[in-house]
Amino acid sequence: MPRRPPLEDDPNDEDFSPSFGSVPKRKKGGDNLTVSKRRKGNTAASRQEEGSCTSSLDRHSKSLHGIKDPHGIRVSLLKWFTDVHDEREMPWRKRYDPSLNAQERSQRAYEVWVSEVMLQQTQVSTVVPYYNRWMSKFPTVHELAKSNIEEVNALWKGLGYYSRASRLLSGAQKVATSMRGKLPDNAKDLQANIPGIGRYSAGAICSIAYGERVPVLDGNVHRLLSRVLALYAPPKAKATLDLLWNAATQLVTLQDTLEVSPAAVDTVTGIQSSDRGYTQYPGDINQALIELGSTVCKVREPRCDICPLREWCWAFKLAHGKNDESSSMVTDVPDIEDTCMLCEPLADRCTVTVFPMKPDRKRAREELDIVNVIEWRSSRVAPERLFLLVRRPENGLLAGLYEFPTTADVSKAISHGAAVKQVYDWLSKIQIKLSNLPKGRGARTVKFEPGVHQDYQVKSITAAGDVVHNFSHIRKTYRVQWVVLEGGEKPPELAADLSSEKCGSGASFIPEDAVTKTAVWCPLTQVENANIGTGVLKVWNLVRLQWEKEVLNM
């Protein structure tokens, strides 16, 4: 399966839905004939493209948005999918095997589940090596359930949206402990009982692995069906989604009508496969819709010339004036009872890419974090250099990953002195006792008077600069401070409830017994490969650049 278009606005939401941003509310009492500035912009752009609507969609029959020939659509779709099934060599895409027993089907459900989660907002080419490594380490749901967040995050590193990994782990643990190691074989129970699985994922898993006739509607299918039905309505509105879910349901639940041999009937599900070279399994239908939306009916530059659904696509007919039927559907004034109440006014000239309606994007909130890269250097001739990493909670943003001690979402007007105070707050929190006090707080680099009672001293706090990192719903600015501690033969002991271990060797560079610990000292050479996110890696690279500059200036 291809990449899933933008998923959740909040990466902690269950599953993901076609996330198109917020949609402005309609004004009460209005006739909706006023074209917004956004739609005017769309109109101007569309006039430069080939293939334009010759009729207005301001008022039209709701019958325009119905599946006219579900059988013909499905036959053409499945013939096309049979030809492209193996083109992209996706290891999770396998031919449906009706001879599998219950345990084997559950294993297929696990494989599809992993692939679906990884594909959320991630390209197929990126996912393939991650999927192969994952299945090598966690070949079954039982193996995954025996793992921990450290191992899971280490394997997930670089894929982004780490909450996806933690949901897979928690879901596997529930399956192993409460469901005898078998994923539910129907979408209703799967969605209700497994953390992080919503309607889309439940439909994909159960149709592909179990042959259940349930629909899917991700961003690819949403776009495809919006064009087939020429639906120009707020994309996240309940009425819009209901219509599209119903259309997807109609295609997957249509009873097979082709002539088949008895040997081509699944004895478990009763589903038929065709003697004519293609199957009618629900999983194939759903995968075909997703694949077509991803590879042909693309957001920009759709390949209408090779689309198997072009004959039934209202957006294509309207854009190219293909027949009298499309013209009459939008020029004949319908009875009030038959008038579409979903669509908003559309310009007289349009292209296929006008559909679906483009919403106003919700702007990500902006936050400022103070990030303290705390380094300890031993008093040896060739000092050992260790860096303090703190583990995030197992729930929420970047669950279970390590980061440098960070004070999140501070005032954007924070002073340099207040930022320096954050260093002392963190050192106090982890109970590192110092023998010196800062001087020169107004300077870029804060130096300290040496003390006489303790081994550990803060040599300097250097403002390293800012790093910007974008999440789906937050634009983070990391204000980075490089803190150097010196003294002692061993690194400072951390608080009793924190770890005093160093990063160990292995895939995650975190000790196996560190699962319940919240901080570690990590050697300089292992920080880059530790269980850290992309934003933290940006911070690390900024600090490395800072000390490289200092070396050059010595």
Beta pairing partners, 406: 371
DSSP 197-246: --HHHHHHHHHHHH--------HHHHHHHHHHTT--S-TTSHHHHHHHHH
- Candidate list 8, 111, 116, 486, residue with the active-site label: 116
The domains located in the chain, with CATH, are: 37-297+308-354 (1.10.340.30), 365-553 (3.90.79.10)
Query: Tens digit of pLDDT per residue, the chain (554 long)?
Result: 455 554 333 333 333 333 333 333 333 333 333 333 333 334 333 333 344 454 456 678 888 898 989 999 999 999 999 999 999 999 999 999 999 999 999 999 999 999 999 999 899 999 999 999 999 999 999 999 999 988 999 999 889 888 899 999 999 999 999 999 999 999 999 999 998 899 999 999 999 999 999 999 999 999 999 999 999 999 999 999 999 999 999 999 987 544 433 444 444 444 444 434 456 899 999 999 999 999 999 999 999 999 999 999 999 998 887 655 555 555 556 677 788 888 988 765 678 999 999 887 788 899 999 999 999 998 776 778 999 999 888 777 887 889 999 999 999 999 999 999 999 888 888 766 665 545 544 444 444 444 433 568 888 999 999 999 998 889 999 999 999 998 878 888 776 444 434 444 333 333 333 334 588 899 999 999 898 999 999 999 999 998 877 666 65
List Cβ neighbours of 176 (8 Å cut-off, separation of 6 or more). 141, 142, 145, 146
In eight-state DSSP terms, residue 435 is: S
Could you tell me the end-to-end alpha-carbon distance of the chain, in angstroms, rounded to an integer? 54
With H, G, I as helix, E, B as strand and everything else as coil, classify residue 322.
coil
Q: Which two tokens stand for residue 6?
A: 């933008």
Q: Which two tokens stand for residue 366?
A: 């902006």
CA distance 419 to 401: 24
Q: The whole model's pTM is what?
A: 0.76
What are residue 373's phi and psi, to 5 degrees? -85, 95
Is 550 part of the annotated catalytic residue set?
A: no
Altogether, the residues listed in the chain come to a count of 554
| pLDDT single digits (tens) 64-103 | 898 989 999 999 999 999 999 999 999 999 999 999 999 9
Q: Which two tokens stand for residue 503?
A: 């990063």
With H, G, I as helix, E, B as strand and everything else as coil, classify residue 47.
coil
| pLDDT single digits (tens) 24-46 | 333 333 333 333 333 333 433 33
CA distance 266 to 209: 13
Are 92 and 283 in contact, with CB atoms under 8 Å apart?
no
